[in-house]
Amino acid sequence: MGEFELIRNYFAAAPCAQAGDGVALGIGDDCALLAVPPGDQLAISTDTLVAGVHFPDVCDPFLLGQRALAVSASDLAAMGATPLAFTLALTLPSVDADWLQAFARGLNQMALGCALRLIGGDTTRGPLSLTLTVFGCVPAGQALTRSGAQPGDLLCVGGALGDGAGALPLVLNQRTAEASITQALLARYWSPQPQLILGQALRGKATSALDISDGLLADCGHIAVASNVRLSILREALPLSAALTEFFGLESAREAALSGGDDYVLAFTLPAVHLAELRAAGLSVHVVGRVEAGQGVAVFDADGQDVTPQTRGYQHFRESQ
């Protein structure tokens, strides 16, 4: 099967690849054309996932299709952007019809759930890897960035932390657990739900934001540096799922929440005046700390003791990992 036949059979005909709002021209020409509303800015993010690094060499292609797009769409949520479209560059060691069909179904399901339309990409032969670029739009001047946190702001997250890291021993077949625990944790790993509605609701309210991919400590470090502030986290305030706590125990669950990564929920700083309004709207907002003058990120227990762990989070190319 040739490249163009592969694209036509598995991707171009998918529901998510059809023309719609924001897409003036999709798959079929040298370039796609996006229609950005007047007064909006275009938000763009690219992620690459490599077999054996970001996902197991052998895994369910349907779930991989879901996860691949979700982690990219989460970047749009972090900017407060409205989703528009995405491209997919797919490198395959060989053409496997069953694998491609399942992968395309998972990709399409997540795309429809995120209101993202497939507008193009590329296919080539080589070790399995996926590169996705997502496009969104945000009113000019309203994009959420990492650089606006102010002393006195609350440090908040959009949901339970640590489940992605908690799922990893299950993904790698290193441990087993009861079905209720397994299903809850694996769902968070393979099908994270980008917090697009929360991100858009934070426009004009949050002073900084990002999505948690490498761990709360590591990612909050980016806000601290960009905003030139100190972020203090209260360990006992970390939101933990019942499944993670039962599977890992409380102390290890807290470690996973702080340093595990793969959560894909938003972390953001917020003036306290906006907290009640967001919660009244039914949005998931958990206060886990505060912004202070200074530098860096630290974790404290209920007695005020510094309990910051040495392990901050995942970083590519660090030899010690």
- Considering the chain, what is the average pLDDT of its residues? 92
Instruction: Cite the beta strand spans of the chain per DSSP E.
Output: 23-25, 33-34, 40-50, 82-92, 117-125, 129-139, 154-157, 208-211, 230-234, 266-270, 286-292, 296-300
Break the chain into its structural domains and give their ranges: 3-139, 154-300
Q: What is the pLDDT of residue 6?
A: 74
Mean pLDDT for 243-248 is 97
Q: What is the pLDDT of residue 8?
A: 72
Q: What is the pLDDT of residue 19?
A: 73
CA 266 to chain centre: 8
Report percent pLDDT > 70 for the chain: 96
Q: pLDDT tens digits, residue range 297-319?
A: 999 999 999 999 887 665 443 44
Q: pLDDT tens digits, residue range 37-76?
A: 999 999 999 999 999 888 898 899 999 999 999 999 999 9
Helix (DSSP H) and strand (DSSP E) numbers for the chain: 10, 12
Q: pLDDT tens digits, residue range 173-191?
A: 899 999 999 999 999 999 9
Q: pLDDT tens digits, residue range 109-163?
A: 999 999 999 999 999 999 999 999 999 999 999 999 999 999 999 999 999 999 9
Q: pLDDT tens digits, residue range 159-169?
A: 999 999 999 99
Q: What is the pLDDT of residue 1?
A: 58
Q: pLDDT tens digits, residue range 258-267?
A: 999 899 999 9
8 A C-beta contact, residue 237 and residue 254 = no
Scan for tokens 């369910």, then name that residue. Answer: 60
Give the residue with greater pLDDT, 10 vs 232. 232
What is the DSSP annotation of 64-93? HHHHHHHHHHHHHHHHTPEEEEEEEEEEES
Q: What is the pLDDT of residue 301?
A: 96
- Tell me the CB-side half-sphere exposure of residue 114, using CA atoms within 13 A: 37
Q: pLDDT tens digits, residue range 261-300?
A: 899 999 999 999 999 999 999 999 999 999 999 999 999 9
User: What gap in Å lies between CA 2 and CA 293, rounded to an integer?
Assistant: 58
Q: What is the pLDDT of residue 321?
A: 39
Domain spanning 154-300, CATH class: alpha beta
Count of residues in the chain: 321
Report percent pLDDT > 90 for the chain: 82
User: What gap in Å lies between CA 80 and CA 32, rounded to an integer?
Assistant: 23
Could you please state the CATH topology (level 3) that the domain comprising 3-139 is classified under: 60s Ribosomal Protein L30; Chain: A; (3.30.1330)
Q: Please tell me the pTM assigned to this model.
A: 0.92
Look at residue 11 and tell me whether its pLDDT is greater than 90.
Answer: no
**If you compute the radius of gyration of the chain from its CA atoms, what whole number of angstroms results?**
20
Alpha-carbon distances, residue 79 vs 6, 126, 185, 208, 273 (angstroms):
33, 33, 26, 9, 21
**Nearest alpha carbon to residue 46 among 145, 143, 132, 135:** 132
